[in-house]
Amino acid sequence: MLDQSQAPARFEGDAGDMLQADDSNARPLRQGFYLPVPAKFVLVLVLALAWMAASVWLSLPWLHELSRLAGLPLALVAIGFIAYVPGFMNAFLVGSILSDRRPKRRLVIHYPKVDVLVACYNERDNIADTLASLAAQDYPGLIRVTLIDDGSTDDTLAVARAETRRLASASVEMRVIAMPRNGGKASALNHGLAGTSAGLVITVDGDSYLRADAIRKLVERFLSDPPNTVAVAGAVLVRNSRRNWLTRAQEWDYFHGIAAVKRMQSMYHGTLVAQGAFSLYTRDALEQVGGWPDCVGEDIVLSWALLETGARLGYCEEACLFTKVPDRLRQFSRQRQRWSRGLMEAFARHGRLLFKRRLSTLFIWWNLLFVPMDLVYTLVFIPGVIAAFFGYYWIVGIMTLLVLPLAAIWNAIIFRVQRRMLNGQGMSVRRNIGGFLVYSLGYTAILQPVCVVGYAAELLRLRKTWGTK
């Protein structure tokens, strides 16, 4: 917290207000040298490009050998998306994380009321825990929880009604809306939005569990961020990580990969996805872009619509929610295909962001490069690994092995930063060495081919459903 002498003015929380902190805390309040965010961006960008240039120079023998076999254009594409582009991304990510000095959450005198929307479909086994965690929030203001059951075919509606009657209190109001038939997550959220009125709206998935301070910290982060912030993504971590090898690997993906990327993006004022699982939005911003779009990736498409207005999207690594991740490969595949399709939907609707002048535009191009990266990894690198077992080292060889110690260093840096964040919340990183080995050595061999299937499904206009989140 900031020194008491820096306490902000009172914030009012009347319905429909655009609630923002003043801009005095848009940068860290500290003595000594301060490097502005644009200057950090340029410095990190230069270092990442220098790293990539060094990679190109070191790989010239590899490029020459592969060119003799496949021709220079194909060799450049293969090595570029196997080594050069991922190396640049990793260098930029690590440089950004090391230089991140975000302002502290500021003191709040008056906490505005918030509406929490919980859209769910067939969550009978999880919804009671989600509602219990909402009822246990330490938020000093009023929380109004609206659960929208999107035509569930199990007992979700009955369980939700019983739990809301039992858990509702003066500080946490709860109600249930039953949709007559399944209409999709976006439709359910928009219906809930239309029936609420608070200036701040938070979305929570129906299979999640929030830490008691999650909503308070999320609101405090929003009120502490620059004035043009219209959404803040919370930190989503894995709740069922002990289930099997797949959930153990995903624990690292959420804690180590996804969280680090969001932190980097928010540093440059453009978190690309305020995920539906746990994010805060201003009502004015939601209404300005027409609410959640009717598509499979409603959260990323909404986030890009907000970015296109010139607004800022932030991230609060201290506001933690735990979610259940897929524990079967089929379920995991459906989830990540859904995410890949959402990315393509975002480009189809908001591709203009590629040419918008702001720091976060780099990450739009970054996401565009995921498509050829996934294709090359699936169609070139994986066959190259198989060929290496038979003594053919055209794709995978000594140069590939040289990347391993560098990847270990990058992972160690990110792990150290993330662990420090968890320790600050009174949590610790459990021993999950097996999950880390799967995550670091074999996870992409599953993930990237699945993403390719998702791209193909979107191009072929295959049927879209709730599926898995």
Q: What is the pLDDT at residue 59?
A: 87
Query: Residue 26 above 80 pLDDT?
Result: no
Handedness of CA 291, 294, 299, 305 (dihedral sign): negative
Provide the residue ranges of all domains of the chain, joining segments of one domain with +: 114-330, 361-459
CA-to-CA distance for 126 and 248, rounded, in angstroms? 20
CB–CB of 46/66 below 8 Å?
A: no
Q: What is the pLDDT at residue 389?
A: 87
Q: What is the pLDDT at residue 433?
A: 87
Query: Predicted confidence band at 432 (pLDDT cuts at 50, 70, 90)?
Result: confident
63-87 pLDDT, tens per residue? 998 999 899 999 999 999 998 999 9
- Residue 71 burial by Cβ neighbours in a 10 Å radius (0-12, 13-18, 19+): exposed
pLDDT above 70 covers a percentage of the chain that reads 90
261-309 pLDDT, tens per residue? 999 999 998 899 999 999 999 999 999 999 999 999 999 999 999 999 9
Handedness of CA 71, 73, 78, 79 (dihedral sign): positive
Of residues 410 and 55, the one with the higher pLDDT is: 55
In DSSP notation, 215-245 reads HHHHHHHHHHS-TTEEEEEEEEEES-TTSSH
Q: What is the pLDDT at residue 122?
A: 94
CB–CB of 208/198 below 8 Å?
A: no
Q: What is the pLDDT at residue 25?
A: 35
Q: What is the pLDDT at residue 32?
A: 53
Query: Residue 247 above 50 pLDDT?
Result: yes
Q: What is the mean pLDDT of the chain?
A: 87
**CATH homologous superfamily for 114-330?**
Spore Coat Polysaccharide Biosynthesis Protein SpsA; Chain A (3.90.550.10)
Query: Residue 239 above 60 pLDDT?
Result: yes
As given in the structure block, the two tokens for residue 45 are: 């960008």
Q: What is the pLDDT at residue 412?
A: 84
Query: Residue 37 above 60 pLDDT?
Result: yes
Q: Say how many C-beta atoms besides its own lie within 10 A of residue 409's C-beta.
A: 11
CA-to-CA distance for 451 and 66, rounded, in angstroms? 26
Tell me what the mean pLDDT of segment 404-420 comes to: 79
Q: What is the pLDDT at residue 401?
A: 67
Q: Model pTM?
A: 0.88
Tell me what the mean pLDDT of segment 153-173 comes to: 95
pLDDT above 90 covers a percentage of the chain that reads 68
196-230 pLDDT, tens per residue? 999 999 999 999 999 999 999 999 999 999 989 99
